[in-house]
Amino acid sequence: MISPWMQNGNIISFLQRETLSIQERVIMLQDVAAGLTYRQWTMPTIYSLLTCVRAVHSQGIIHGDLTGANILIDDTRRARLIDFGLSSIKAMFEGTSYWSSTVGGAIRWRAPELLPPWPLGESTSVEFVPDFTVACDIFSFGNVMLHAISDRRPYFNLRYETSVLMSICHGTRPKRPLVPLLTDSHWDFINWCWGDTPSARPCAAEVLSAISDVS
């Protein structure tokens, strides 16, 4: 898929260059949440699509690789969600070997149910099939929010991806960065997105509705 060029780059590099208020950061996160509720291949301004809440996730379309690298900032400082080329249409591949071998996602942002049981490499007669649902995107959104507000990537205290993998498999969530912008309200919201089970997490519409009230 070809995406429009945006000289502001992705949300993480943009926030490293610019000094933004918490209100401006939350608006960008609202754009991302709106992008999870509705998506068009032509990449319209995401925030203008708020009336189309639940359309994408309700149709079984899952982004599958939601990280700061896949959120671009346009000339008006609005966030646009890209890289749906890695997204999955659940009904088509669920339960197949294709499904279990092509689930994308950077490990630091990935929902725990997408990883095989610990210990890794344990022999089993049944191939591991990830429990890939729309709730996986919500878990990743929590990590995006953590990164966008704190300027610290998930598991910032762990240098190596293998250490991150072990932490996720043991059920350890990312550590809270001690930065002024990340308030208790933000942290509680992020942990809501990190619910231990998919059913414990909010849907994209709930995230979109609630995030503007987080201060």
CATH number where 161 lies: 1.10.510.10
Q: Is residue 156 part of a domain?
A: yes
Instruction: Let me know: does 113 contact 131? Beta carbons within 8 Å.
Output: yes
Q: Is residue 110 part of a domain?
A: yes
Predicted local distance difference test score (pLDDT) of residue 27:
87
Instruction: Let me know: does 137 contact 148? Beta carbons within 8 Å.
Output: no
Q: Is residue 67 part of a domain?
A: yes
For 71, 93, 206, the CA distances from 28, given in Å and listed in that order, are: 9, 32, 16
Q: Is residue 2 part of a domain?
A: no
Q: Is residue 215 part of a domain?
A: no
Asked if the model's pLDDT at residue 73 lies above 50, the reply is yes
Instruction: Please report, rounded to a whole number, the percentage of residues in the chain having pLDDT higher than 70.
Output: 71
Strands (E), the chain: 61-62, 71-73, 79-81, 88-89
Predicted local distance difference test score (pLDDT) of residue 57:
60
Q: Is residue 6 part of a domain?
A: no
Residue 206 belongs to what domain range?
Answer: 11-210
| CA diameter of the chain | 53
| Total of domains in the chain | 1
Which stretch of 25-39, 57-71, 161-175 has the lowest confidence by average pLDDT?
Answer: 57-71
